[in-house]
């Protein structure tokens, strides 16, 4: 028995906005009845691109019905530009969570919304066998691009996760090697992108302070203490680090050299290249 939230049960037993819209402005149809899930989403949209009404018909489990119902509640009254940014995670969160094994239902809702908006804007829908990539999971007709997307957007890390989100790999399992290769590639790309983003954006004052404290405590103090000296952080003013030398370092004639040639060099290497160190 799945561990469903009260909200999932409510939207399953009392689904909102079920039915048809006569002459809808947009239709999104996703899934495949032969694979167990299908969703048809219909929208009424005004000239200002506000979603006035949304109705759905779905073939699937209780989670599919609840996710479709939640989706309509989330999008009615929204501009298309806002609605298109709704993710499967937001659908699941609106329902106070879904079992991991049922997350594919929230993905289906997100994809139906994207298909409906594309339909409204006259954009050509990609054919999964051609434009949308190569089919990896033949049991459920899931392409490599679809697998890559859910792995990237949901930070998935295992074949089992992928199966929960798009069913791929849940049949004969012959595609497991390909799925794992996609997971490994996307995970490596995300790590590289994260490092690049970290390097490109300016460091905040809090981040700078935390790094300075860390370097002083882990690298600088132990080295000075080994020779009977010590150092105390007095203040951090932007990129100016103000310290006080203690112990043998305080009365040493080479104190200024210690500050500039050791403390400042260490902080510039580990924190930021234009940090300056001054004596209190």
Confidence (pTM): 0.61
**What's the domain range around 245?**
205-279
Average pLDDT, the chain: 87
pLDDT in tens, 23-66: 999 999 988 665 668 899 999 999 999 999 999 999 888 999 99
Fill in the DSSP letter of residue 228: T
Which residues, listed in sequence order, are joined to residue 241 by a DSSP beta bridge?
A: 236, 277
The answer to whether residues 147 and 186 belong to one domain is yes
CATH code for the domain in which residue 140 is found: 1.10.10.1100
Cite the active site residues: 35, 105
The answer to whether residues 4 and 109 belong to one domain is yes
Write down which residue in 69, 101, 125 finishes a domain. 125
H/E segment holding residue 213: helix 205-215
- How many Å separate Cα 174 from the centre of its chain? 28
**Paired tokens of 133:** 């990539």
The answer to whether residues 227 and 172 belong to one domain is no
CATH code for the domain in which residue 12 is found: 3.90.1010.10
pLDDT, position 129:
41
pLDDT, position 226:
85
CATH code for the domain in which residue 245 is found: 3.30.300.130
The answer to whether residues 47 and 118 belong to one domain is yes
Which residues, listed in sequence order, are joined to residue 242 by a DSSP beta bridge?
A: 235, 278
Which residues, listed in sequence order, are joined to residue 246 by a DSSP beta bridge?
A: 230
User: Is the CA virtual torsion 91, 95, 100, 103 positive or negative?
Assistant: negative
The answer to whether residues 103 and 5 belong to one domain is yes
Residue 83 CB-half CA count within 13 A: 28
Q: What are phi and psi of 195, to 5 degrees?
A: -65, -40
| Number of compact structural domains in the chain | 3
The answer to whether residues 85 and 22 belong to one domain is yes
The answer to whether residues 76 and 150 belong to one domain is no
Which residues, listed in sequence order, are joined to residue 28 by a DSSP beta bridge?
A: 41
Write down which residue in 98, 125, 152 finishes a domain. 125
| Distances in whole angstroms, Cα of residue 247 to Cα of each of 150, 223, 228, 244 | 57, 13, 6, 10
Write down which residue in 181, 201, 221 finishes a domain. 201
The answer to whether residues 146 and 47 belong to one domain is no
User: Computed over its alpha carbons, how large is the radius of gyration of the chain?
Assistant: 28
pLDDT, position 69:
96
pLDDT, position 187:
92
The answer to whether residues 174 and 245 belong to one domain is no
The answer to whether residues 102 and 137 belong to one domain is no
Mean pLDDT by 10 residues, the chain (280 residues): 85 95 94 75 95 94 93 96 92 92 90 92 58 79 89 91 89 91 92 71 83 90 87 90 86 82 90 89
- Classify 83 as helix, strand or coil: helix
Alpha-carbon span 46 to 6, nearest angstrom? 34
Contact (Cβ atoms closer than 8 angstroms) between residue 86 and residue 110: yes
The answer to whether residues 133 and 186 belong to one domain is yes
pLDDT, position 81:
92
pLDDT, position 127:
45
The answer to whether residues 134 and 193 belong to one domain is yes
For 109-167, give the DSSP string: HHHHHHHHHHHHTTPPPPPTTTTT--EEETTTTEEHHHHHHHHHHHT--SHHHHHHHH-
Alpha-carbon span 182 to 148, nearest angstrom? 6
pLDDT, position 228:
86
Place of tokens 């300075």: 212
């Amino acid at each position: 028995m799945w561990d469903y939230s009260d909200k999932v049960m409510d939207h399953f037993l009392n689904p909102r906005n079920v039915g048809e819209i006569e002459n809808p402005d947009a239709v999104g149809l996703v899934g495949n009845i032969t694979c167990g899930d299908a969703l048809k989403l219909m929208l009424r949209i005004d000239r200002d691109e506000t979603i006035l009404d949304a109705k759905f018909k779905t073939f699937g489990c209780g989670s599919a019905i609840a996710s479709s119902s939640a989706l309509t509640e989330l999008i009615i009254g929204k501009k298309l530009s806002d609605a298109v940014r709704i993710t499967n995670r937001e659908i699941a969160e609106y329902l106070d969570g879904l079992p991991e094994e049922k997350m594919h239902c929230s993905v289906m809702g997100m994809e139906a919304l994207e298909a409906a908006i594309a339909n409204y804007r006259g954009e050509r829908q990609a054919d999964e066998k051609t434009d949308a990539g190569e089919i990896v999971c033949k049991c459920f007709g899931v392409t490599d691009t679809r697998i890559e997307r859910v792995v990237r957007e949901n930070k998935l890390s295992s074949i089992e996760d992928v199966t929960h989100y798009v069913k791929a790999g849940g049949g004969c399992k012959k595609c497991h090697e390909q799925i794992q290769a996609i997971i490994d590639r996307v995970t490596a790309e995300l790590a590289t992108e994260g490092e690049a983003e970290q390097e490109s954006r300016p460091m905040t004052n809090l981040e700078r302070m935390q790094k300075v404290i860390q370097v002083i405590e882990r690298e600088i103090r132990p080295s000075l203490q080994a020779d009977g000296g010590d150092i105390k952080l007095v203040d951090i003013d932007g990129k100016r680090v103000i310290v006080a030398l203690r112990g043998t370092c305080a009365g040493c004639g080479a104190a200024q050299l210690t500050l500039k040639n050791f403390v400042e060099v260490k902080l510039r290497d580990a924190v930021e290249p234009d940090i300056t160190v001054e004596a209190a």
